[in-house]
Amino acid sequence: MDCIIKLYSNGFLVNNEKELRRYNKDSIGFLKDLKDGILPPELIEKCNEDVNIILEHHLEETFVYAPKPLVQPVTLENIPAPSTSSYSSSS
């Protein structure tokens, strides 16, 4: 199983998690284990098989969440009525 860890200037993602993990006291043990070549206990618990750790360095980039798309719900009021005009072709 591959485990992709993407390192950004403002934090890191593990296996494309939705939440960016910040570089702080909560993540220092995880990062120290990786640096020391040790599989963090969190990954041992999630994976019952061999794990390939893939580190992607994006340290020159700041992670920014993609904006949520603005979607207008479809209702009967905002669907245009079909056109009733007839088309004539001139030859």
Token pair, residue 21, equals 């993990």
- The answer to whether residue 41 sits within a structural domain is yes
- The answer to whether residue 52 sits within a structural domain is yes
pLDDT tens for 7-46 read 999 999 998 888 999 999 999 999 999 999 888 988 888 7
Domain of 41 in residue numbering reads as 2-58
The model's pTM is 0.68
The predicted pLDDT at position 21 comes to: 95
- The answer to whether residue 84 sits within a structural domain is no
Q: What is the DSSP letter of 71?
A: -
Give percent of the chain above pLDDT 70: 78
Q: What is the CATH number of the domain that holds 19?
A: 3.30.420.210
Beta bridge partners of 57: 7
Average pLDDT score, the chain = 84
Token pair, residue 34, equals 């990786």
